[in-house]
Amino acid sequence: MDRRISEYALDSHGVERRKRVRIVLSPVRKDDGTTMRKNEAKNLLQPYINRVNERSTFPARERKAATFEAFAMIWENDYLILSKPSTQSSVRTQLRALKAEFGTKDMRQIDAGDIQRLIARLTRDGREPKTIRNLWGTISLIWQAALAQKYVDSTLPKPKLPKAVKKAPRFFRLEDAARIIASVQGEQRCLYWLFAETGIRAG
């Protein structure tokens, strides 16, 4: 004795599909040779009906999929574009490194271990702790946006990061600045003088 029911589920692209399912409930005759009664068959079928009704009442959550490279482009166009130009420039440099690392890998397949291994390798390569910390900041922002747009199911936990090392600030004394300005000729002298008077950053 069998029945056919329809089940609805989301495929790997987040599209709802209907699937016809054939369920074998029991033999027509029971072990003692008697015929399976209608109400007994209904009792066997009821759990399947409950499951289908539950799915229709609480539909599956929309599930999107994208590679890191694809979502990085979405994030760049929708989020990064709102940042100031200097921030956009530095973050795009980080994005190139992250695309080279994770490129065609699905966002959901990138886990905390992948991030920790990336940080450990950058540390071994001699990258500055501040640079690595800034990179993690960008990764965190990308995953927050991916969660909001349902490309991932959770954000990544904060990895163990290298400690920031304080460095002695570099500076010129007044006499040093005067010698630099005096060594420049023409219109550039005015520019150097402006730098010295305003204390403007090199960046």
* Segments making up each domain of the chain, as ranges: 2-57, 68-148, 168-203
DSSP-based three-state secondary structure for 34: coil
Provide the pLDDT for residue 57: 57
**Section 161-167 average pLDDT:** 83
Cβ contact 99:91 at 8 Å? no
* Element holding 19 (H helix, E strand): strand 16-24
Residue bearing tokens 């890191």: 68
Predicted structure pTM score: 0.58
- Matching residue, tokens 């023409």: 186
**Per-residue pLDDT tens digits for 59-84:** 555 568 899 999 999 999 999 999 99
Distance CA 21, CA 55 (A): 15
User: Tell me: the pLDDT tens digits for 114-151?
Assistant: 999 999 999 999 999 999 999 999 999 999 999 999 99
Give the closest residue to 111 by CA, choosing from 122, 120, 102, 103.
Answer: 102
- Biggest alpha carbon–alpha carbon distance for the chain: 112
Cα distance between the two ends of the chain: 78
Q: What percent of the chain has pLDDT over 90?
A: 46
pLDDT of residue 147: 94
Q: How confident is the model at residue 197 (pLDDT cuts 50, 70, 90)?
A: confident
